[in-house]
Structure 1
Amino acid sequence: MTRTGQRLSDLGYAAGWAVVRALPEPVARALFRAGADLAARRQGEDSQLRRNLSRVLGVEPAQVPDDLIRDS
């Protein structure tokens, strides 16, 4: 990444957190939960997160509960 690209990335990150801090806590929690739900739906059986959790749980990736994926 170029120096300018890194600077823009840093500014975007800082701006995003400034917006989150300005939101009421229940709204921020709801937005993060919605993002987690969306990310969990996009996780396939071959996702790295599912494989890692299956190792911890000692089960096959397909047996990892979807709610654990979402909460992770």
Structure 2
Amino acid sequence: MQVKLLPTPEQAVALEATLRMCDEATRWVSSVAFERQVFGRKSLQVAVYNEVKAINGLYHPGNRGGWTRATHHSQ
């Protein structure tokens, strides 16, 4: 199945910013993994989870909820 997004201009800006933030976080996590030689999912999560949240103002609302931008966090 393919889904085509048709965002408004404002939504497109927000989507692009979100994707950039995810890309930056992914690159940072990857660099930490190689730096610390931590490659297991659980071990890597323990190593970087709180830092990723703090850096990006994110929180995880539940087991399967995904990353969500914290509206109360200012940076």
Specify which structure has the higher proportion of helix.
Answer: 1
Specify which structure has the higher proportion of strand.
Answer: 2
* TM-score band w.r.t. shorter chain: 0.3 to 0.5
- Higher Rg: 1
Q: Name the TM-score, length of structure 2 as normaliser.
A: 0.34
Structure with the larger RCO, 1 or 2 (CA within 8 Å, 6+ apart): 1
